[in-house]
Amino acid sequence: MPLITPSSSETLASGRNSRYIFVTGGVSSSLGKGIVSASLAKLLQARGYRVTIQKLDPYINVDPGTLNPYEHGECYVTVDGAETDLDLGHYERFLNVCTTQANNITTGRIYQSVINKERRGEYLGKTVQIIPHITDEIKRCVQILGSESEFDFIITEIGGTVGDIESLPYVEALRQMKWESPDDTLVIHLTLIPYLAAAGELKTKPTQHSVKQLLELGVQPDILVCRTEHHLNSAIRTKIAKFCNVSLESVIESIDADTIYDVPLLMQDEHLDEVVLKKLGLEASPDDTPDLGEWKEFLYRFKNPDQTVHIGLVGKYVELKDSYKSISEALAHAGANLKTRVEIHWIHSEQISRKNVDEMLGKLDGILVAPGFGSRGIDGKLEAIEYARTNDVPFFGICLGMQCAVIEFARNKVGLTDAHSTEIKEYTPYPVIDLMAEQKSITDMGGTMRLGAYTCELKEGSIAREIYGVDSIEERHRHRYEFNEAFRNQFEEAGMKASGINPVSGLVEIVEIPSHRYFIASQFHPEYASTVLAPHPLFISFVKAAVMAGPGPVKTGNTASEDAISGAI
Ligand code: GLN
């Protein structure tokens, strides 16, 4: 049961300002600010508070939508169609609460907004400067989340590392907010305590320097979360506290964890949530504990699998696993749900050829073809799909993965030789995947795709309908190209059914092959919606089908659709 102290949520909900918690990073990047922020949010949420998390990204791109996945990993998409940093995916997966455009701000967006205001004359002839105009805009973007009193806590993660030129205006904005409202604002600094093997010691100096750097910018952190490979003893904790002007209880150890889903519990062991509440004047009573029952149940199932299933994830960005973060997490959620360890085999689509496809995919229990853009690696994806389809191996295609499934089927089953997507081959004789009319005139690359959640109606009697258990769903999109309606009848006759349709535009959102053991592909991205407490049904059914099928080509003649469905649900 969520335990809310009288001085906590009730007070906050009845008019008290939201509390602002900033999370900064020092010493090194990749310390896991996103996971620590999400873990703290989880602990506060489990105490009954309403929490949201925001990411401020110091780069000049207006959003990460135009970034190559190799740069920052996957682009996460919110229900309202914002293309955002992948950390928002962690926030949603941990909290089971939707984020929006307001949860991810970049320097590009801040400047764009300030420059637009300047052009409209809103600064009344003043010289527009970083302080106060840029910093005011940053503060506005943070405070807007608190202005409706919808949230008790706004946790704002500042991307990058303290000391970077890019993040200076953000640190200045937070300094001002802390100065203006010290009782409602808290700063958590995430830092690294490296272990020097030669000396056999943990070293605090980088942390001292990092805090000094923050102090030079006028910010005294309230809490230090210390990433470390070894436990911090009390002497080290005391030293850090003394040198960095924080209380001993504010030195929080963040030891390397087996899985990111352990971190909320590790943070709870270190009393991070209690220290936060205390510092913000919301002391928790001693017997209050966050209700993490379901979370622990998930972890138990995740860590104690009864079996292992081997899934091939075919994509062209596999060198950087973060490019497919939401997919790999959604597979993990589904695996935990089924008490199954999902071992992902990362398969580079450029390396698959007609000659080696049997060898590369032969030991897999299921094949997932990933989203993507452009022509690189397409042939390998088509080979993988043909292999899955003709060998009755469970298949799941997402976005470009669905488009490739359509192309493969067109060529090999419908008889449309050289069928293609016009994204890859503009003048194909059979454009089975094509641009929507309104997309044809767009030349701007940023924010112009079909983005965010759209309704999809599921056909009676279809596998998709069976999997979801409802007749209408909302799923998130991020693409320009679509299934070409002109070919739909030919596909249906040849055995590939359109089982999910957008009720407004009539666009095909899901295709499936009922005669196959398990072959389903979606134009939308179900992976964005999978969370720890609500694993996505399409991922559960796919993993389940893979478990039932076992590795490689199916040797029995048992491919009836009823069996496929019952095995998959
Ligand atoms: N490139 C394809 C399109 O734009 C697919 C996009 C994707 O996989 N997200 O339609």
| Ligand 1 pocket test, candidate residues 68, 75, 76, 373, most atoms within 8 A of CB | 373
Check: pTM over 0.85? Answer yes or no.
yes
Determine the pLDDT at residue 557.
36
Q: What is the CA radius of gyration of the chain?
A: 25
Atom 1 in ligand 1: residue holding the nearest Cα: 373
Determine the pLDDT at residue 554.
46
**In terms of Cα–Cα distance, which of 133, 192, 142, 169 is closest to 59?**
169
Q: Which atom of ligand 1 is closest in space to residue 399's alpha carbon?
A: 8
pLDDT in tens, 358-389: 999 999 999 999 999 998 999 999 999 999 99
CA dist., res. 251 & res. 211, Å (int): 13
**Distant-in-sequence, close-in-space partners of 168: CB < 8 Å, separation ≥ 6:** 217
> Taking a C-beta distance cutoff of 8 angstroms, is the pair 169, 133 a contact?
no
Bridge partners of 522, per DSSP, are: 398, 510
CA dist., res. 296 & res. 267, Å (int): 14
Determine the pLDDT at residue 3.
29
Kindly report the backbone phi and psi dihedral angles of residue 538, in degrees, each rounded to the nearest multiple of 5, phi listed first: -70, -35
Q: What is the average pLDDT value for the chain, to the nearest integer?
A: 91
pLDDT in tens, 493-531: 999 999 999 999 999 999 999 999 999 999 999 999 999
Q: Phi/psi zone of residue 43: left (φ > 0), alpha (ψ -120 to 50 degrees), beta?
A: alpha
CA dist., res. 551 & res. 362, Å (int): 7
pLDDT in tens, 127-145: 999 999 999 999 999 999 9
Query: Beta 104-106 vs 51-57: how paired, if at all?
Result: parallel
Instruction: Report how far ligand 1's centroid is from the alpha carbon of 423 (Å).
Output: 9
Atom 6 in ligand 1: residue holding the nearest Cα: 479
List the catalytic residues.
Answer: 399, 525, 527
Residue 1 clears pLDDT 60, i.e. is over it = no
Pull the structure tokens for residue 374: 């452009």
**Residue carrying structure tokens 């990362």:** 346
Average pLDDT over residues 262-283: 94
CA dist., res. 462 & res. 474, Å (int): 17
Pull the structure tokens for residue 558: 């048992």
Instruction: Report how far ligand 1's centroid is from the alpha carbon of 77 (Å).
Output: 13
| Ligand 1 pocket test, candidate residues 67, 317, 396, 399, most atoms within 8 A of CB | 399
Q: Give buried/exposed letters for 277-300 (b at 16+ CB in 10 A, else e).
A: bebbebebeeebebebeebeebbe
Determine the pLDDT at residue 281.
92
Instruction: Report how far ligand 1's centroid is from the alpha carbon of 235 (Å).
Output: 54
CA dist., res. 409 & res. 160, Å (int): 45
Question: Which band of pLDDT confidence, cut at 50, 70 and 90, is reported for residue 565?
Answer: very low
Q: Where is 563: in which H helix or E strand?
A: helix 561-568
At position 10, the amino acid (one-letter code) is E
Name all residues whose Cβ lies below 6 A of ligand 1. Answer: 371-373, 399-400, 403, 423, 478-481
Q: Which atom of ligand 1 is closest in space to residue 478's alpha carbon?
A: 9
Pull the structure tokens for residue 414: 């419908």
pLDDT in tens, 11-54: 444 356 899 999 999 988 889 999 999 999 999 999 999 999 99
Determine the pLDDT at residue 556.
40
pLDDT in tens, 197-211: 999 999 999 999 999
pLDDT in tens, 498-507: 999 999 999 9
Beta strand extents in 32-164 (DSSP E only):
51-57, 76-77, 83-84, 104-106, 153-158
Instruction: Report how far ligand 1's centroid is from the alpha carbon of 481 (Å).
Output: 6
pLDDT in tens, 85-114: 999 999 999 999 999 999 999 999 999 999
**In terms of Cα–Cα distance, which of 415, 437, 388, 351 is closest to 545?**
388
pLDDT in tens, 289-334: 888 999 999 999 999 999 999 999 999 998 888 899 999 999 999 9
Determine the pLDDT at residue 97.
93
Instruction: Report how far ligand 1's centroid is from the alpha carbon of 126 (Å).
Output: 44
**% of residues, the chain, pLDDT over 90:** 83
Atom 5 in ligand 1: residue holding the nearest Cα: 400
CA dist., res. 71 & res. 422, Å (int): 26
Instruction: Report how far ligand 1's centroid is from the alpha carbon of 407 (Å).
Output: 14
Residue 564 clears pLDDT 50, i.e. is over it = no
CA dist., res. 215 & res. 138, Å (int): 20
Q: Which atom of ligand 1 is closest in space to residue 401's alpha carbon?
A: 8
| Ligand 1 pocket test, candidate residues 481, 507, 522, most atoms within 8 A of CB | 481
Average pLDDT over residues 242-254: 97
Atom 3 in ligand 1: residue holding the nearest Cα: 479
Instruction: Report how far ligand 1's centroid is from the alpha carbon of 323 (Å).
Output: 14
Q: Which atom of ligand 1 is closest in space to residue 423's alpha carbon?
A: 1
**Residue carrying structure tokens 């004047």:** 281
CA-to-CA dists, residue 495 to 203, 483, 513, angstroms: 64, 16, 6
Average pLDDT over residues 67-78: 86
**In terms of Cα–Cα distance, which of 253, 230, 229 is closest to 241?**
253
Determine the pLDDT at residue 552.
56
Average pLDDT over residues 483-493: 97
* Sequential DSSP letters for 263-299: HHHHHHHTTHHHHHHHHTT-PPPTT-----HHHHHHH
* Sequential DSSP letters for 24-54: EE-SSS-S-HHHHHHHHHHHHHTTT--EEEE
pLDDT in tens, 398-448: 999 999 999 999 999 999 999 999 999 999 999 999 997 677 777 676 667
Q: Which atom of ligand 1 is closest in space to residue 433's alpha carbon?
A: 10
Atom 8 in ligand 1: residue holding the nearest Cα: 371
DSSP at 351: G
Q: Which atom of ligand 1 is closest in space to residue 373's alpha carbon?
A: 1
User: Which has the minimum average pLDDT: 285-289, 413-417, 475-479?
Assistant: 285-289
